[in-house]
Structures are given as structure tokens and as C-alpha cells.
């Protein structure tokens, strides 16, 4: 008999017994059968064949009996498992009602969570190929319909009420117009476009009267329905970004004199196949009446910016300014109000090819002027800056910044300081009274030129200066501006300390200095400079950031840190030493 128990109790309560089959082999019998199989003992096999045949005949009936019992037990087990799962579900539901933290969150917090769960839209200007068009169109439809918000609304009735009842969750509209440009099957495209418009209208309705933020991007001439639909909601626009070809801006006619709340406008105008600048200029009239507009970013033909209400702007960014644009930029600067700021990204290479420039003399009331390089190879930037600085008068200028062109992750291609023109501009504008910030991030300037400039700026409080790595294509080696000599001349003299009441000879009000250095100075010169400047600013303190280029780490030794510690502990000195990230200027 087998070593298995002859009977199995299935229920102690009702004493249900399952009897094991009498055919179950014993260990000895199993060993005998295995021996016959291994040894090929036919004679022994023949002698046992009647018994084996009887077993073969009897076993199926016993197997059927076992199978029937297992089926019965499976049904019982399934009922037990189902009961257990139902009980666990009941427990989870009760816990969800009583103890689930998210159910206790105020609606305001849930709204903030939902608002941050939407993945940021990654814009791609490459065209959508025909095989992927329908897939991309459906993805765009799902996003316009609500994206993650729609998924949240399906969790529970409370979340559904939050999603569809909170207008602020629907205050941002992102639209990828590439799905509107391909000539696909007319009927299918029409159906998908109509669905997208339907969802867009619903999204606008769910936002009720909350201010809208729009991001619309697309290359190529597309069907105007989406733009026209958005244009009819222009009374709610607060911030709008459009990256479109010239020809598409004509579809914004409905926004004319209908932008009461627009504060920020970003327009990236793409030439497309037909560069119809006149049509673009006509379309800019639509944005000419926006009483709350304060910030503009524009990339395209600068002449058309004249149609915007420049007199009320706080800041305007011009990107990609070329030879045909520079005269319009200078002319428009005269219209900006006092307190305005202009950020201009110039294509120095293209503009320098058009030298000499015929620019009008302009006086502008702006307080901040920043020039960025989009493209230049070398010293030709000085000629362009000469022409610009010679024609401007900026009597209220408070901040002046020059930034070079990023080359790679380690360095930037510097501009060349236009010494004579800059000196004349600052003198003509009376910048000695007004200028408090000078940022020469990526500018070749000699020590003599810098000191001559600083001597005329007694009000200066912030200064950024830099050494420069050797750059391919530009003559010369590494440029070291920040040396012991410069630090000594920027330090108050011994008789210029706080006790005598005499001001330092240069930039007496300097309170912030950022230096990007290759380390061409001694620790003692740096310490003397920091201590001397700190003593001049005991009330407000002095702040200095020493930054090194990637791969050119600078170290401040422990002895120097200990020497500065008393002033740092008293919060009279803030000294930072870290690596410089070239991307910081362009964020």
C-alpha cells in the first residue's frame, strides 16, 4: 500500500471521508516496476503482464473518481476564495472611506495635485509623415480633451466633480497644428478635425471665464478652424504663445480690439514658402490694442513689431535680429516707456557684413538693455556694437548686459568690448548717476579699458567680469582679466577704509561681484580684496561669487576660509565658489 493515508478527512464537522484507491502502489512495488523498465527484463515482464493489464484496466475508473472529487473541491475552494476576496474588498472600501489620506485632502490641494500631474508638452517642429498622421491626430485629440484630467475624472465621483467643476484646471490650452497640415483622406481628416474642434470648444467652456494661457505651435499652412476657434475666446487671453508661418496670422482677425486681459505675447513668425511680410504686418494690427500687454517676445521681421503698443511694455525680447532688422530695432527703442527693458539677440555675423550701418540717432527711456549673440566668429562684433552704441542715448539706463554665443558645454564665444563707443554712450547718457548693474558675461575687455569704464560709474552696485578660454577660430590664447593687479585696483586703498569716511577710488558702491575665472590670481590678493570691500559695506554686506570654467576647477584653501570666517559668520560677507554653467545666461 502507498505511504499516503488510506483516508482523507475533508470536513471534520460532517466527517466527510475520501477513501484512497486500493491500486495505489507501495514503495516496493514502484521499485520493482522501475527495475523492469531500466533492465529490459522481458521474462519478468511477461510473468507480471496479467497483473499489469488488470491495473491498466482498473486505473482509469479510479482516476475519474479522483477527478470528480477534485472538481467538487475546486468549486468549494473557488467559493472560499471569492468570499475571501469580497471580504478584502469590503475591508479596503471601509479603510478608503475612513483612513485614506487623499480623501481627507481639501479640494484646493487636490486641484493643485491634478494641475501638476499633466506632463509638459514637448514641441516638435518636424512635419508629421502620412503613416503616423492618424496616430498623432488621435493623441492630439486625447490631449485637447483633457489628457490626464480625463483619467482622473474616472476614479470616483468626487474627482469627477473636481475635474469638471474646477475652471482653473482648464486655463491652459496647448495645440499642435501639425495635425492640421497633411493632405490626408478628406473624409477621415474632416472627421478627426471636427472631433478635435468639438473637444477644444468643450475645454474652453470648462474654463468658464478664467484667464487663458495659450501655446499654439505648427509649421506649414494649415486649416484655420482651430486658430479661429481660439480667436473667439480672446477676451480671456492672459498669456499667448504662437509659433506659426506668416500666412497663418491672418486668421486672428477676431482678436482685434478684443484683448482686454492679455499681459504676455510671444510670437515666433516662420517665413514658410511665401514670405509675405506685408500680410504679417497687417496681421500685427490685430494685437495693437491690448491695454494690459506688458511683455512681448518676438522672432521674425522686426519691422512688424511697430504695430504693437510698445509705449506700454515693461519688456520686449527681439530674437534673430539681422541686417534688415537692426535699423527697425533702434527706431522702435524710442517708443519704449521709462522703466522698460529690451533684450536683443543679434546675428552679428550677418549685421557686420552690412557695415557701415546707417542708423538714426535715438534717445530711449529704457532702464535695461541686454545684447545677446546669435552668431559671430570673432572681433566683427565690435563694429556692430560700435554702430549701436554710437547712435543711442539712454538717460535712464540702470542695467547693461552683453552675452556671447554658446559654443559647447564648456565655453562661449565672447564679444569684443567697444571701448570708445561704450565710453561715449555712458557719458552721453549720464550713466554715472543711473547705472547700477554692468554684466560683461562673455566680453573681451582689457584691464585698462575696464578700469577706465568703471571710473565713470560711481553708482555701480553689481559687476560681472570674466576670463576667457582659448576659442578655435579666434586669434590669441586664454585671456586673463582677473589678476592680482585688477583685484588690487578694485580694492579700497589703505586710507579709503570705513574709519576715514573716504570713498574708494573705483565703484565705491560695489556690493555684488561675480567673477568667472581661470585662477590667474593669488589667494592673498583675493582675500585682501574681499576683506577691503567687506569693510566698506558693514551695513549691507558684500557678496562675491567666484566661478570656474568646467574642467578648470578652482580651490579655496582651508586657511583662506578660516580667515574669512569671522565676516561670514556675522553675515557681512557672502562668498560663493562654484562651477559656472554656460547655460545659465540663456535660461
Location of C-alpha cell 469627477: 160
- Closest alpha carbon to 479 in 514, 441, 446: 446
The rounded distance, in Å, linking the Cα atoms of 255 and 267 is 15
The arithmetic mean of pLDDT across residues 4-31, rounded, is 72
Query: For residue 496, is it within any domain?
Result: no
The arithmetic mean of pLDDT across residues 274-281, rounded, is 80
* pLDDT value of residue 119: 67
* pLDDT value of residue 182: 57
Could you read off the pLDDT of 96-128 as tens digits, one per residue? 777 777 777 788 888 888 888 776 666 676 777
What does residue 558 show for φ and ψ, rounded to 5 degrees?
A: -60, -35
Q: Are residues 74 and 105 in the same domain?
A: no
- Closest alpha carbon to 352 in 328, 322, 390, 391: 322
Per the model's pLDDT, the better-predicted residue between 119 and 165 turns out to be 165
Whether the predicted pLDDT of 10 surpasses 80: no
The arithmetic mean of pLDDT across residues 136-147, rounded, is 79
Half-sphere exposure of residue 194: CA atoms within 13 angstroms, side-chain side:
6
Q: Are residues 108 and 248 in the same domain?
A: yes
The rounded distance, in Å, linking the Cα atoms of 525 and 88 is 73
The rounded distance, in Å, linking the Cα atoms of 256 and 566 is 62
What CATH number did the domain enclosing 426 receive? 3.80.10
* pLDDT value of residue 499: 44
Mean pLDDT lowest among 132-136, 307-311, 471-475: 471-475
The arithmetic mean of pLDDT across residues 509-524, rounded, is 90
Q: Are residues 416 and 383 in the same domain?
A: yes
* pLDDT value of residue 14: 58
Q: Are residues 125 and 265 in the same domain?
A: yes
* pLDDT value of residue 360: 93
The arithmetic mean of pLDDT across residues 295-318, rounded, is 95
User: Where in the sequence is the domain holding 452, given as residue range(s)?
Assistant: 314-472
Location of C-alpha cell 476614479: 155
* pLDDT value of residue 176: 84
Are the CB atoms for 340 and 365 separated by under 8 Å? yes
The rounded distance, in Å, linking the Cα atoms of 307 and 318 is 14
Confidence category of residue 255, pLDDT binned at 50, 70, 90: very high
Report residue 148 as a C-alpha cell: 490626464
Whether the predicted pLDDT of 476 surpasses 80: no
* pLDDT value of residue 538: 61
Q: Are residues 50 and 114 in the same domain?
A: no
Q: Which region holds residue 443: left if phi is over 0, alpha if psi is between -120 and 50, else beta?
A: beta
Report residue 468 as a C-alpha cell: 576667457
- Closest alpha carbon to 573 in 552, 546, 548: 546
Could you read off the pLDDT of 521-560 as tens digits, one per residue? 898 999 999 999 988 776 678 999 999 887 788 888 888 8
Q: Are residues 263 and 178 in the same domain?
A: yes
Confidence category of residue 272, pLDDT binned at 50, 70, 90: confident
The rounded distance, in Å, linking the Cα atoms of 235 and 250 is 18
Q: Are residues 106 and 94 in the same domain?
A: no
Whether the predicted pLDDT of 264 surpasses 70: yes
Q: Are residues 119 and 93 in the same domain?
A: no
* pLDDT value of residue 296: 97
Mean pLDDT lowest among 13-22, 254-263, 442-451: 13-22
Give the sign of the dihedral formed by CA 315, CA 542, CA 487, CA 557.
negative
| DSSP assignment string, 353-376 | TTPSP----EE---SEEEEEESS-
Q: Are residues 64 and 190 in the same domain?
A: no
Mean pLDDT lowest among 1-15, 62-76, 508-522: 1-15
Q: Are residues 121 and 269 in the same domain?
A: yes
Query: For residue 164, is it within any domain?
Result: yes
* Total structural domains within the chain: 4
CB neighbourhood size of 155 (10 A): 12
Could you read off the pLDDT of 418-471 as tens digits, one per residue? 999 999 999 999 999 999 999 998 888 999 999 999 999 999 999 999 988 876
Q: Are residues 269 and 320 in the same domain?
A: no
In 178-249, the DSSP E strands lie at 212-217, 237-245
* pLDDT value of residue 497: 46
The rounded distance, in Å, linking the Cα atoms of 296 and 290 is 12
Query: For residue 161, is it within any domain?
Result: yes
The arithmetic mean of pLDDT across residues 391-398, rounded, is 96
Whether the predicted pLDDT of 27 surpasses 80: yes
Query: For residue 393, is it within any domain?
Result: yes
Q: Name the domain boundary from 70, 98, 126.
A: 98
Whether the predicted pLDDT of 133 surpasses 50: yes
Q: Name the domain boundary from 79, 98, 117.
A: 98
Report residue 159 as a C-alpha cell: 474627482
| Greatest mean pLDDT range, 48-57, 193-202, 451-460, 476-485 | 451-460
Partner residues linked to 84 by β-bridges:
none
Whether the predicted pLDDT of 501 surpasses 50: no
Could you read off the pLDDT of 60-81 as tens digits, one per residue? 988 898 898 889 888 888 888 8
* pLDDT value of residue 187: 62
Average of per-residue pLDDT values in the chain: 84
Q: Are residues 167 and 256 in the same domain?
A: yes
* pLDDT value of residue 48: 67
* pLDDT value of residue 42: 66
Location of C-alpha cell 565658489: 577
Amino acid at each position: 500500500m502507498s505511504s499516503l493515508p488510506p483516508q482523507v478527512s475533508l470536513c471534520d464537522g460532517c466527517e466527510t471521508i475520501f477513501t484512497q484507491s486500493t491500486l495505489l502502489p507501495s514503495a516496493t512495488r514502484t521499485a520493482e516496476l522501475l527495475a523492469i523498465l531500466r533492465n529490459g527484463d522481458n521474462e519478468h515482464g511477461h510473468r507480471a503482464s496479467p497483473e499489469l493489464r488488470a491495473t491498466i484496466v482498473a486505473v482509469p475508473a479510479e482516476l475519474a473518481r479522483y477527478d470528480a472529487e477534485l472538481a467538487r473541491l475546486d468549486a468549494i475552494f473557488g467559493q472560499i476564495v471569492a468570499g475571501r476576496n469580497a471580504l478584502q474588498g469590503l475591508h479596503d472600501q471601509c479603510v478608503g472611506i475612513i483612513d485614506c489620506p487623499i480623501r481627507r485632502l481639501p479640494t484646493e490641494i487636490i486641484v493643485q495635485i491634478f494641475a501638476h500631474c499633466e506632463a509638459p508638452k514637448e514641441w516638435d517642429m518636424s512635419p508629421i509623415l502620412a503613416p503616423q498622421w492618424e496616430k498623432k491626430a488621435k493623441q492630439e485629440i486625447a490631449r485637447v480633451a483633457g489628457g490626464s484630467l480625463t483619467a482622473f475624472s474616472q476614479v470616483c465621483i468626487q474627482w469627477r466633480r473636481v475635474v469638471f467643476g474646477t475652471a482653473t484646471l482648464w486655463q491652459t490650452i496647448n495645440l499642435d497644428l501639425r495635425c492640421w497640415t497633411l493632405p490626408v483622406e478628406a473624409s477621415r481628416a474632416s472627421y478627426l478635425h471636427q472631433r478635435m474642434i468639438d473637444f477644444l470648444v468643450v475645454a474652453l467652456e470648462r474654463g468658464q471665464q478664467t484667464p487663458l494661457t495659450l501655446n499654439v505651435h505648427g509649421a506649414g499652412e494649415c486649416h484655420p478652424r482651430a486658430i479661429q476657434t481660439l480667436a473667439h475666446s480672446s477676451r480671456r487671453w492672459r498669456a499667448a504663445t504662437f509659433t506659426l508661418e506668416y500666412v497663418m496670422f491672418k486668421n486672428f482677425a477676431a482678436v482685434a480690439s478684443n484683448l482686454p486681459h492679455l499681459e504676455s505675447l510671444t510670437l515666433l513668425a516662420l517665413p514658410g514658402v511665401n514670405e509675405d511680410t506685408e500680410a504679417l504686418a497687417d496681421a500685427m494690427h490685430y494685437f495693437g490694442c491690448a491695454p494690459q500687454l506688458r511683455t512681448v517676445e518676438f522672432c521674425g521681421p522686426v519691422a512688424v513689431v511697430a504695430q504693437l503698443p510698445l509705449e506700454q511694455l515693461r519688456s520686449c525680447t527681439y530674437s534673430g535680429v539681422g541686417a534688415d532688422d537692426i535699423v527697425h530695432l533702434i527706431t522702435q527703442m524710442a517708443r519704449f516707456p521709462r522703466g522698460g527693458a529690451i533684450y536683443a539677440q543679434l546675428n552679428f555675423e550677418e549685421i557686420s557684413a552690412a557695415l557701415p550701418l546707417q542708423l538714426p540717432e535715438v534717445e530711449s527711456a529704457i532702464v535695461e538693455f541686454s545684447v545677446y549673440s546669435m552668431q559671430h566668429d570673432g572681433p566683427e562684433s565690435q563694429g556692430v556694437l560700435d554702430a549701436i552704441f554710437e547712435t543711442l542715448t539712454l538717460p535712464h539706463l540702470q542695467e547693461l548686459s552683453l552675452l556671447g554665443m554658446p559654443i559647447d558645454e564648456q565655453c562661449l564665444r565672447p564679444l569684443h568690448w567697444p571701448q570708445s563707443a561704450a565710453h561715449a554712450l555712458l557719458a552721453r547718457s549720464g550713466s554715472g548717476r543711473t547705472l547700477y548693474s554692468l554684466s560683461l558675461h562673455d566680453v573681451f575687455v582689457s584691464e585698462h579699458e575696464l578700469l577706465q569704464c568703471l571710473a565713470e560709474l560711481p553708482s555701480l552696485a553689481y559687476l560681472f567680469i570674466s576670463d576667457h578660454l582659448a576659442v578655435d577660430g579666434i586669434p590669441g590664447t586664454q585671456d586673463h582679466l582677473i589678476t592680482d593687479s585688477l583685484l588690487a585696483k578694485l580694492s579700497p586703498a589703505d586710507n579709503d577704509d570705513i574709519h576715514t569716511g573716504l570713498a574708494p577710488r573705483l565703484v565705491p558702491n560695489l556690493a555684488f561681484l561675480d567673477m568667472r575665472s581661470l585662477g590667474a590670481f593669488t589667494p592673498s590678493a583675493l582675500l585682501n580684496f574681499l576683506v577691503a570691500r567687506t569693510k566698506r559695506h558693514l551695513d549691507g554686506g558684500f557678496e562675491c561669487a567666484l566661478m570656474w570654467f568646467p574642467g578648470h576647477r578652482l580651490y579655496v584653501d582651508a586657511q583662506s576660509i578660516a580667515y574669512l570666517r569671522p565676516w561670514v559668520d556675522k553675515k557681512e560677507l557672502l562668498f560663493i565658489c562654484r562651477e559656472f554653467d554656460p547655460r545659465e545666461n540663456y535660461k
